[in-house]
Amino acid sequence: MKEIFRKAVPVLEKLEQAGFEAYFVGGSVRDVILGRDVADIDIATSAFPEEVKQIFTRTFDTGIEHGTVSVLEAGEIYEITTFRTEGTYADFRRPDEVTFIRSLEKDLERRDFTMNAIAMGLDGRFIDPFGGQEDMKKKQIRAVGKPWERFHEDALRMMRGVRFVSQLQFQLEADTYAAMQQNRALLANIAVERIAVELVKLMKGQAVKEGLKLLAELDMLPFLPGFQEKAPAVEALQNWHLEDLQEETVIWFVLVLALEPENVTSFLRAWKLPNKLIRDVAKAMKKAEKTVWSDYELFETGIETVRLIDYGHYVRTGKSQWKDLQARFLALPIQSRNDVQASGNDVMTWTNKTGGPWLKELLARLDQAIIEGDIANNPEEIKGWVKHVIN
C-alpha cells in the first residue's frame, strides 16, 4: 500500500473497530490503480456523521449536510463521508436531498464514472461493481449506469468527463459520448465557478489538445462564457505550446490571448475569477506583445507581469527569454520602489515643497536615474540629484 494510504489506515481501523465499514474511494483509488500521484484521499464509511464524530476526538463539520466530517488523525486532516444516495435532481445540478445509507454499493452507484466508483478496503482489495478497472485498462471513461440519466442528474459531470480525457489521456466510451452530445445544453444550469474548476484542470492535463477538441466537437463552447463563436480560436489554441500549464493566472492569460475577448476584464468577471487574478491578467494583456525590454521597463512593469507576458510568447511561438529577463531584473540596482534609499518625505524635506503630482513624477524619474546608473542608490547622491533637478 502506498504511504499516503498507509498513513490513513488507523482512521479506517477506528471506524471498523466501532463496527462500521470504511473504504478509500474516489479519485485516490483511481489514481493509485493508474500509477498516478495521489494528492489527497477520500474515505467513505457506513457510519453516519454523528457516529463518526463520536469515534474521533478532533472533528470538524466541513460539509456535514452532505455527510462529510473532517477528522484530525496523526497530524493529518481526513475527510470522511457517509455512504449516501442522492435524491431527485430538479435542476440538473446537485441533488435536492442526500440520504445517508449503510450500503457501499449504493454509494458507488451515485458516482459519475466507473473509474471513480471503485472502493479499496484495508486489505488492499478493490470493490469494483461497475467494471472500472476494466474500463481503465481500455483507457475509457464510462458513466456509471445510464449516461443520459446521469448527465441529466448533474450536468457538471459532462465537463468532468472532458476534463478527465485531458488529464488521463483516455477516451469517452461511445454511449457516454453520445449522451454528452445530447445533453450538453444542460451545462447552462451549472454555476460558472464549478465549470471554471474543470476548465482549469482540463488546461493542465497531458492531453489538453484532445480536451479542447472535444469541447468543440461536443458543441459545449456555447455554454462557456466568452467561448461562444470562438471555435476557430479554440482550434488554433490546440497548436500552441500548452504542455506544462500549471498556474491559474497563466492559464487564464493564455485563454485571453487565444480568444481575444473584446473586454478582458468583463470576460474574466463572467467566470467569477478572483479580483487579483483579473487585475494581473489585464495588466499583462496591456503589454502582451512586448518582446524588447529596457531595464526601466522591466522595473516598472514588475517581474511577475514580465514573466506572464514572456510565457504568452512562449505558448504561441515556443520561444522564451525568461532566463535572460529574470537575470537582468535581478541585476538591477533596485527591484522595487522600497529599495530606493530615499522616501517621498525625504524629497519633500529637501525641496521644502508639499506633496502633489510633481512628487510622483519626480520619484519615477529618480527610479529611472538609479536604474540607468546615472546616480548611485544612496541618500547623499539622491539628495544632490533631487536638488539639481528641482532647480
Q: Which residues bind Mg ion (CB under 5 A)?
A: 27
Segment near ligand ATP (CB under 6 A), from 151-159, 261-269, 315-323, 358-366?
151-159
When the beta carbons of 38 and 256 are compared against Mg ion, the nearer one is 38
Tell me: does residue 27 bind ligand ATP (CB under 6 A).
yes
Smallest distance, ligand ATP to C-beta of residue 166, A: 11
Smallest distance, Mg ion to C-beta of residue 338, A: 41
163 is in an annotated binding site: yes
When the beta carbons of 128 and 154 are compared against ligand ATP, the nearer one is 154
Residues 6+ apart with CB under 8 A from 359: 344, 347, 348, 353
Tell me: does residue 369 bind ligand ATP (CB under 6 A).
no
42 is in an annotated binding site: yes
Q: Is 33 in a helix, a strand, or coil?
A: helix
Q: How many residues bind ligand ATP (CB under 6 A)?
A: 10
Q: Say what the alpha-carbon torsion angle 215, 219, 225, 228 is, to the nearest 10 degrees.
A: 120
Tell me: does residue 156 bind ligand ATP (CB under 6 A).
yes
Tell me: does residue 116 bind ligand ATP (CB under 6 A).
yes
Q: CA-to-CA distance for 80 and 100, rounded, in angstroms?
A: 13
Tell me: does residue 198 bind ligand ATP (CB under 6 A).
no
Residues 6+ apart with CB under 8 A from 188: 223
Q: Which does 256 bind (CB under 5 to 8 A by kind): ligand ATP, Mg ion, none?
A: none
**Class of residue 212 by CB neighbours under 10 A (exposed 0-12, middle 13-18, buried 19+):** buried
40 is in an annotated binding site: yes
Max CA distance (Å), the chain: 87
Q: Which residue is nearest to Mg ion (CB)?
A: 27
When the beta carbons of 128 and 367 are compared against ligand ATP, the nearer one is 128
Smallest distance, Mg ion to C-beta of residue 203, A: 18
Smallest distance, ligand ATP to C-beta of residue 245, A: 15
Q: CA-to-CA distance for 163 and 159, rounded, in angstroms?
A: 6
Q: Which residue is nearest to ligand ATP (CB)?
A: 27
When the beta carbons of 39 and 330 are compared against ligand ATP, the nearer one is 39
Count Cβ atoms below 10 Å from residue 175 Cβ, excluding itself.
13
Q: Which does 12 bind (CB under 5 to 8 A by kind): Mg ion, ligand ATP, none?
A: none
Tell me: does residue 145 bind ligand ATP (CB under 6 A).
no
Tell me: does residue 42 bind ligand ATP (CB under 6 A).
yes
30 is in an annotated binding site: yes
CA angle 111, 112, 113 (to 5 degrees): 110
Number of H helices, E strands in the chain: 20, 11
CA angle 252, 35, 78 (to 5 degrees): 75
Backbone angles phi, psi at 195, to 5 degrees: -65, -40
Q: Which does 367 bind (CB under 5 to 8 A by kind): ligand ATP, Mg ion, none?
A: none
Segment near ligand ATP (CB under 6 A), from 109-117, 126-134, 315-323, 333-341?
109-117
Relative to beta strand 76-82, strand 42-45 is parallel
Q: Which does 156 bind (CB under 5 to 8 A by kind): Mg ion, ligand ATP, none?
A: ligand ATP
When the beta carbons of 37 and 262 are compared against ligand ATP, the nearer one is 37
Q: CA-to-CA distance for 362 and 367, rounded, in angstroms?
A: 9
Q: Which residues pair with 127 in a beta bridge?
A: 119
Element (H, E) at 259: helix 248-259
Element (H, E) at 100: strand 98-100
Tell me: does residue 302 bind ligand ATP (CB under 6 A).
no
31 is in an annotated binding site: no
Rg, the chain, Cα only: 27
Closest CA to 161 of 240, 237, 217: 217
Tell me: does residue 157 bind ligand ATP (CB under 6 A).
yes
Relative to beta strand 171-172, strand 140-141 is parallel
> Which segments are annotated as binding site for ATP?
27, 30, 111, 154, 157, 160, 163
Interface residues with ligand ATP (CB under 6 A) are: 26-27, 42, 111-112, 116-117, 154, 156-157
> Which segments are annotated as binding site for CTP?
27, 30, 111, 154, 157, 160, 163
> Which segments are annotated as binding site?
27, 30, 40, 42, 111, 154, 157, 160, 163
